[in-house]
Chains A and B, each alone.
Chain A
């Protein structure tokens, strides 16, 4: 009866930013990214990619509540980098990985459809 509309889960409301960034006031090179209308799908791959980065000291994400359709991603880096730089790097690397994966998959598929 008072359930939120289903589209609330994936439509970013007007006037709301998809990604917002907030520096930590107490810790150097630490920040929280709030990503609206995303879940474990994005949260977990970005977190795992950040863990591969040597300049990242901490990376973690949480889905605060099942009915709050957003994730919080916290990053702390060494002074050689910044959370923003690490975040951008992680997304670029993931994007390139997916490009590679797509090419691999298409190549394999072409082989298989030929011997049909």
Chain B
């Protein structure tokens, strides 16, 4: 039964990691895996977001639905999301979000008592679970004055206006609603392989070399200040625009520069909303993809049904 294995052994090289940003190289696999990971990071890695809002008092200028929508879009720290339950398959509660396995409760109680406009922000949300709170965007290392950072503004109140509500946050995925997407941007590009025909390049005057370098809209090439040769300074700046190739052709030198996309090598950039760390997002995406693959394995009864069918076929053939 065991056939030959066609497994691949992909390699990873991380270039840069920050909390909400990372860049890495993925090699020795194909575009289908790279794209599956990208799609999953955007739409299928779970996070927690406000999903149900009960408004007690709202005398602000924004209507209830408008405020509820804004609350939903606030990123909440979601390290716990992978181990939480979806409220639809939670059997500890009836899905109204009262239990600790599938939901987190928030309260917001603000009233403006002064003549100055009061900003209601994500920092005014009181969470029932200290691991699930609105993401804090004040960056201590940035050197800016953090006292002015008050979080994400939900609504502004004038004297006498009040907002009082209870909200329930649940686990969800970006496929359901974009508010659950942990990804700000996830992109990958093929790594370009740029080859300069040095012999042909020798026949160019310095003026022509400069023209060629200038023809690229992104700064991929430059001229070595010492030996006046055209060099590749940043291959990844190349956007597959073909401008240099067209220029070489126009100069009557086709083949002067050759550019190929390496089809098994990708450069990923991942930015998150802050709900999970960028590195964790990639790991979660791999886990989610593994779970999905597991779910599409053939069930035993399907295999059995086919075996019977096979026997029947054999009987029929055998007469």
Q: What is the size category of the interface that chain B forms with chain A?
A: 35 or more
A105 near B282 with CB under 8 A, answer yes
Given A46, A87, A101, A106, which contacts B10 in the complex, CB threshold below 8 Å? A101
Could you tell me the distance in whole angstroms from the C-beta of B118 to the nearest C-beta in chain A?
A: 35
> B1 — which chain A residues lie within 8 A by C-beta?
85
Could you tell me the distance in whole angstroms from the C-beta of B185 to the nearest C-beta in chain A?
A: 18
Could you tell me the distance in whole angstroms from the C-beta of A104 to the nearest C-beta in chain B?
A: 4
**Stretch of B30-38, B60-68, B74-82, B247-255 contacting A (4+ beta carbons < 8 Å):** B30-38
> A93 — which chain B residues lie within 8 A by C-beta?
5-8
Q: What is the size category of the interface that chain A forms with chain B?
A: 35 or more
- Complex: how many Å from CA A101 to CA B283? 9
Chain A interface helix/strand/loop/mixed: helix
> A113 — which chain B residues lie within 8 A by C-beta?
17
**Stretch of B107-115, B149-157, B186-194, B296-304 contacting A (4+ beta carbons < 8 Å):** B296-304
B12 near A41 with CB under 8 A, answer no
15 residue pairs from A and B, CB less than 8 Å apart: A6-B175, A10-B175, A11-B88, A21-B302, A35-B296, A47-B32, A49-B32, A96-B5, A98-B290, A101-B10, A104-B10, A105-B282, A109-B14, A111-B14, A113-B17
Known: A54-B4, A96-B5, A98-B289. 10 other contacts (CB 8 A): A10-B176, A20-B302, A42-B292, A42-B296, A48-B32, A53-B6, A97-B8, A97-B29, A105-B12, A109-B279
Where the two chains meet, the residues of B that have a C-beta atom closer than 8 Å to any C-beta of A are 1, 3-14, 17, 24, 29-30, 32-33, 35-36, 39-40, 44, 88, 173, 175-177, 279, 282-283, 286-287, 289-290, 292-299, 302-303, 305-306, 309
